[in-house]
Chains A and B, each alone.
Chain A
Amino acid sequence: MTTTAILLALPDRRRWVGMAVPFIAVAGALAIGLVLIAASGKSVPDAIEAFLDGAFGTAFAVGASINRAVALSLVGLGFILAFRANLTNVGGEGQIAIGGIVATAIGLWPPIADLPLGLAVVLPLLGGTLGGALWGGIAGVMKVRFGTNEVISTLLLGFIALLLVYWCVQSTALLRQPQTSSATLPESLPIAESVKLPGLTGSPESPLHIGLVICLLLAVATAVVLQRSTFGLRLRAIGLNELAARRAGMPGGILLVVALALAGGFGGLAGAIMLQGEQYYLKTGFSSGYGFDGLVVGLLSRGSAVGVLAGALFFGFLRSGGISMEIMAGVPAALTLVIQGLIVIAVAGSVILVERLERGGR
């Protein structure tokens, strides 16, 4: 964790070098992945072709990949905001879930669909964000009041939130669609057209939605807050030396709660966007690992918003490509998971190399 703090203080040149190491690790993991594909008897060139096709071959593919990257980015951005104050938010998965629940609830409320001026889209988004912020805020309050380690509290809250989704879609009193037959799935009704996120490109082929715009705007905002704003500086102070920060008049407790609430809010927004942009209805497993992936993206980005976007794009394309490899080349999607797991582990382990680089360069 101190590595990131040190890296944030280094001049940019060394930071780029530091960022290169993870990419080397990634390349290594990918190489192993190709070996595994070959070992499983599938054609490697076919697999690669299918992967590239699925990742960015068609307009549809690119759009879908970017949409995925949007959700990952948001979680990652929220993570680095909280991390600035030395807080580790592990509850992204749950915050997405809460965002999905609130957005679904608002989105399905009958009067919403007829609201003018795009409020039908905005209100569920806002609701999801607030829900996630509240969820993150709980962990913040627990840290300030009880000194609870936020890794543990956000993790537990995450699981609780995932089960809340399960609860909501199991009960028709909550969000489950009316059971017309015994085969009715435990899911919510789909949201109305007017609640869905409008597409970015005019063509119906590309699923790319305005989530991208929101994400880019927030990425810029996050970068500005972290690098240029006084609030960002205060977060940094609180994270580095809480006592001195309080001595300098900073409201320590409030800053910590706000930091975690921000992280939660970003996660909630990601959940709302996932609902209104792609899935359109709530079901168990709604968050499908985006929370954990976003956490990894956040950690690997070393506190840089650009890094988050880059990492999120990478993982987004990875997911899309993996699905395509399964359909087109018969490579199991599970292999994508294997490669992803290897990448995460490789990068995590390469941190010490980065540290040695810094120390050697001093």
Chain B
Amino acid sequence: MTQSATLEPPLLALDGLGKRFGSLQALEGVSLGVRAGTVQCLLGENGAGKSTLCNLIFGVYEPSAGHMTFGGAPWAPASPAVALERGIAMVHQHFSLVPRMTVVENLMLGQVKGMLHRHEFGARIRDIAERFGFALDPDAVVGELSVGERQRAEIVKCLMRDPRLLVLDEPTAVLPPGEIGALLDICRRVADSGRAVILVTHKLAEIARVADRVAVLRGGRLVADEGMAGADMSTLVHAMVGREVKPLDVALAEPDGPAAGQPATGDAGGPRRFALVCDGLSVKDRHGAVRLDNLTLEIRPGEIVGLAGVEGNGQSELGMVLAGLLRPTEGRFYMGDVELTHAGAAAVTAAGGGIVPEDRHAVACVTAMSVAENMYLNKLGRFTRFGLLQRRALNAAAQAQMRTFDVRAASPEVAFSGLSGGNQQKAVLARELTLDPLVALVAAQPTRGLDVSAVEAVYRQIRAAARRGVGVLLISSELDELIAVADRIAVLYRGRLVGERPAEPAERAAIGALMSGQVVSGQSVSGHAA
């Protein structure tokens, strides 16, 4: 890691930057300096404010407070186009490429007028790529490229504008582990060419190779800002994921049942049945990258098993497989004793699998339909007589359900989209928890975007379900929540189970280390509690 002249003023300086969206304070009091020739890492979980910060720098939004300077002059771009012209470029997480066109065509789009000279332009692309240490075939069709290659095309698109500052938003989130190294090398070279690089991410371990400085955002505030040289991994992870939710631990520690950690079925010598069994599940995506690697896990009835891991390590794929919406490339899974690997979503529901997916808008609910319709989407048959839907009964049942699960809405007939995130999540949870039979519950990132009281409510329901004998798989990147709720915690890293620890506060450091990819001694890779 190069030691740049610390006496130079920063290329980009943020001073007391704040941004408010209505009642939401997305950023507050962020002060940061980024120097030319360095790679600045910006760490933080979802919702911590990283994207907002980038959008402020790139001119998508205007700050509500504070100001920025770039290259010594005040920086307040009116739009991304202006920012691009003045020397800041951004590689977004979601590429804006046209899959059917070639790389050179994509890069010429909007940049070239008149006749296209593919050869010349292609040569320029090749040059830039070479300069920063990678190969890019200008004539390749983007749709056929791997994610990493597409990302490199986006990077070249930015570099062609000769920016002084390059911002990369979660570039490693979409990359399979094998391609991350290459990306980081590129970042290093860009920085070494005298530019500044801001690398936004929530994946920690790989960053250590390339970052000069690390800043951590949490809840819209900057909670850490240090040089990479002396940084401690675990501290950083903790700074990133630690929640200020002491009340959560207290609330969940209420003595309203058997203490967490004791499965309801007290079978001494090995359980008769498992609630959920994953056996060697592997998933490869369209480009052949491994997203899930030989995952084996067993959950007994009444157990709450936490699956910890920073997002993007295979959790989404696991969730989709268990929901019956994605076929694994290898392996099998069972709920109760029923094999459901290729059975489809309806069969999973019938076998007693409740799923609370991480992207509820895409998978769990139909936002335009009413609350009642959504809450009973998978049980409509119960309210059907002679083919007709008994709306009154449906609404009444939904009303009762809403009371039980504290879903707050004007009435069961309002559109689902009108509910707050917390109430939507409670509604989906209600639907899944009232499946009959309910054998296993898979909840992925169930508390994302929820306020504290909603979080408590969700976990209360989950623990109640576990007490009833449901086996729960809790997939989350909120380590504190997992420790408070789960019996044991397995860690998912790059699609593989890399270790398992009991869910106790003392284990936090070890679990955090496993989450960031470090090897911890004394780990047990089997699925059983110690």
Contacts and interface: CB of A to CB of B under 8 A. Distances in A.
A and B touch in the complex (CB under 8 A): yes
Given A243-B362, A244-B365, A247-B323, A230 B345 contact: no
Given A5-B368, A228-B388, A243-B362, A248 B383 contact: no
Q: Which of A240, A241, A247 is most buried by chain B, counting CB atoms within 10 A of its CB? A: A247
B346 A250 contact: yes
Contact of A233 (B323, B344, B367, B380): B380
B365 A229 contact: no
Interface in B401-449: 415
A237 B346 contact: no
B33 interface: no
A166 B391 CA distance: 49
B350 interface: yes
B366 A237 contact: yes
A6 B368 CA distance: 8
Contacts of B380: 230, 233-234
Contacts of A234: 380
Interface in B340-355: 344-346, 349-350, 355
A244 B368 contact: no
Given A236-B369, A244-B377, A249 B325 contact: no
Nearest to A2: B368
Q: Which of B345, B366, B391 is most buried by chain A, counting CB atoms within 10 A of its CB? A: B366
A230 B366 contact: no
A229 B389 contact: yes
Contacts of B362: 241, 243-244
B384 A230 contact: yes
B366 A245 contact: yes
Contact of A243 (B349, B363, B383, B387): B363
A212 to B, nearest CB: 25
Nearest to B387: A229
A237 B389 contact: no
A292 B389 CA distance: 33
Contacts of A233: 369, 373, 380, 389
B364 A247 contact: yes
B381 interface: yes
Given A233-B373, A234-B380, A243-B325, A248 B388 contact: no
B388 A249 contact: no
Nearest to B324: A247
B366 to A, nearest CB: 5
Given A9-B368, A233-B373, A247 B388 contact: no
Interface string A5-33: 11001000000000000000000000000
Contacts of B453: none
A6 to B, nearest CB: 8
Contact of A230 (B355, B363, B368, B383): B383
A313 B355 CA distance: 49
B325 A230 contact: no
A230 B346 contact: no
Contacts of B524: none
Contacts of B369: 233, 236-237, 240
19 contacts: A5-B368, A9-B415, A225-B387, A229-B388, A230-B387, A240-B367, A241-B367, A243-B325, A244-B362, A244-B366, A245-B366, A246-B344, A247-B323, A247-B325, A247-B364, A248-B378, A249-B349, A249-B378, A250-B346
Given A230-B380, A243-B325, A248-B377, 11 more contacts: A228-B389, A230-B381, A234-B380, A237-B369, A237-B377, A240-B369, A241-B362, A241-B366, A246-B346, A247-B324, A249-B346
Q: Which 6 A-B pairs have the closest CB atoms?
A: A249-B346, A248-B377, A248-B378, A230-B384, A241-B366, A247-B345
Interface of B: 323-325, 344-346, 349-350, 355, 357, 362-369, 373, 377-378, 380-381, 383-384, 387-389, 391, 415
Interface of A: 5-6, 9, 224-225, 228-231, 233-234, 236-237, 240-241, 243-251
